[in-house]
Amino acid sequence: MLLLSVKSLVTAYNELTKLDLRVLRVIEVAHRRYEWVPLEVIVRWSNKPWELVSKSLKKLNALGMVIRWKGNYTGYRLTYTGYDALALHTLAKRGVVEKLSPTPLGVGKESDVYVAEDPVGNKLVVKFHRLGRTSFRQTKRFRIWVGDRRHITWLYESRLSAHMEYKALTLTYNAEVHVPRPVTVNRHAVVMHYIESCRLSEIRGGLDRPEDVLGTILEDVAKTYREVGIVHGDLSEFNIIISVEDETPYIIDWPQWVPRTYRNALDLLRRDLENIISFFRKEYKLDVDLDEAIRCITEGIEVGELELEEAFEQMIGARELREYVLGEHSEESIERELDRIEREFSETEKEDREKLHIATTGTEKRE
C-alpha cells in the first residue's frame, strides 16, 4: 500500500475519473459535519450507485487521497493529497494551470512547491500549504469560526495560511515591492509567477553586487512597512530568492505577516531586519546599523497598539478573514453545496469513467 502513495501528485491526479473527483468533493463538504464521513453518507450525497462509490473509495484510499477508518461504522477522511487534488482540479478547470511538474521544487516542512505552466506557457509556482503558520490561527476568533469542526483544523489552518500569503503578495506586489507576481489562490494553494532564481542562503558569499542587493531588500522592507503597512515576520536569507537574470532579490513566503498596527509588529520588524543585516555582515562584511535602519523605516509612523485579531480585522475585514478560514461557500447550506456538486458533475455513467488530465512540465527537480 505504501508504495502506491508515493505516486507524484500529477500522476495520481491523472488516474482520477470524474466520479472519483465527485466523491472527493462530497467528502470535503461532509467534513463540515463529520470527522470520519460515514460510507452511507458519501454514497447518498454522491447520488451514485453504492458499488461505484465503494470502488472509487478503494481507489482513492490506494492513491493516498483519503484514509479509511473502521469503528462502529466505516468512515473516510481527506488527506493533504486529496485536498491537493481538489485544488489542482479547480485550478485546471479555471484555466490557471495546464501543466505541473512531477516532483516538488523543494519539499519544505511547511509547504510543497511545484513548478507549473499556464495555457499560454507562463511558468508558475503552485505552493500547497501544509501546516498553518499564521499567528491568527491561535486567536480566539479563529477558534470560534472553526467551531465544532475542530476535528479537521489542519484543513482550515492550511487554507488560512494560503489566503494570508496571497493577500500579502497582492498588497506588496501592487506597491511594487519585489515579490513574485500573484495569480490566484484556491483552498490551501497559492499560485504565483515562477522566478528563475537561487535562494540567498545558497548563494552565500557569491553575489556580484551585494550592496545593491541589500539596498533593495532594505528599501522593500521599508516600503512594506510604510506604504503597505505590514511586516513580513519570517524574513531571512532562506526566504529571499535572487533572480538569475539580474540579481534582483525577491521576498517570498509571506503567510505569517502582521499588520504594523499590531502591538508586537515592531519586534517582528526588528527581528526581520536583524536576520538580514547579520547575514550580510557575516557573508559580505557589509555594515549596516540595526537601530539606524529601524529609525529610518519607522520614522513618523505610530507604534502599533492593537491586539492581533483587531489589527487583522481592521486591515482585512472580519468577513473576508472568515472566508479565508472557512472557504468561499462557507455561508451556504450543505444542501446548496451538494446542488453545486450535482450541477458540476451531472454526467452519464460513461462520462463518470472519463479520466482527468494535467500534462507534466519538463522541469526537473533541482535538489
Active site residues: 234
Cα dist from 333 to 30, 99, 201, 257, 297, whole Å: 11, 34, 48, 32, 47
Q: How far is the CB of 257 from ligand ADP (least distance, A)?
A: 12
82 contributes a contact to ligand ADP by CB under 6 A: no
For residue 211, the minimal CB distance to ligand ADP (Å) is 23
What backbone torsions phi and psi does residue 38 show, to the nearest 5 degrees?
-60, 140
Under the binding rule (CB under 5 A), the answer on residue 237 touching Mg ion is no
Residues of span 219-278 touching ligand ADP by CB under 6 A: 239, 241, 252-253
Size of the site for ligand ADP (CB under 6 A): 18
Reference 228, options 179, 163, 190, 275; nearest CA is: 179
Edge-to-edge strands, sheet with 249-251:
197-199, 240-243, 249-251
Distances (CA, A) of 222 to 82, 124, 167: 40, 27, 18
Binding segment for ligand ADP (CB under 6 A), chosen from 78-86, 105-113, 214-222, 271-279, is: 105-113
φ, ψ of residue 37 in degrees (nearest 5):
-75, 120
CB of 201 to ligand ADP, least distance (A): 8
Binding status of residue 168 toward ligand ADP by CB under 6 A? no
User: Which residues, other chains included, contact 215 with Cβ-Cβ below 8 Å and sequence gap of 6+?
Assistant: none
Span of 5-13, 78-86, 137-145, 195-203 interacting with ligand ADP by CB under 6 A: 195-203
Binding test (CB under 5 A) with Mg ion, winner from 253, 313, 323, 337: 253
CA separation for the pair 253, 180 (Å, rounded) = 10
Answer yes or no: are the C-beta atoms of 13 and 358 closer than 8 Å.
Answer: yes
* # residues near Mg ion by CB under 5 A: 2
Choose one: 140-148, 231-239, 276-284, 324-332; the region binding Mg ion (CB under 5 A). 231-239
Tell me if 100 contacts ligand ADP by CB under 6 A: no
Q: Which does 125 bind (CB under 5 to 8 A by kind): ligand ADP, Mg ion, none?
A: ligand ADP
We find the least distance from the C-beta atom of residue 276 to ligand ADP, in angstroms, to be 15
Residue 239 lies near Mg ion (rule: CB under 5 A): yes
Q: How far is the CB of 186 from ligand ADP (least distance, A)?
A: 17
Q: What is the rounded distance in angstroms from the CA atom of residue 93 to the CA atom of residue 98?
A: 9
CA gap 355, 88 in Å, rounded: 14
Q: Which of residues 302-361 bind ligand ADP (CB under 6 A)?
A: none
Q: Which of 199, 271, 281, 340 binds ligand ADP (CB under 6 A)?
A: 199
How far is 5 from 7, CA to CA, in rounded Å?
Answer: 5
Q: What string of H, E and C letters represents the secondary structure of 4-24?
A: HHHCCHHHHHHCCEHHHHHHH
β partners of residue 242: 198, 249
**Footprint on this chain of Mg ion (rule: CB under 5 A):** 239, 253
**Footprint on this chain of ligand ADP (rule: CB under 6 A):** 105-106, 108, 110-111, 113, 125, 127, 180, 192, 194-195, 197, 199, 239, 241, 252-253
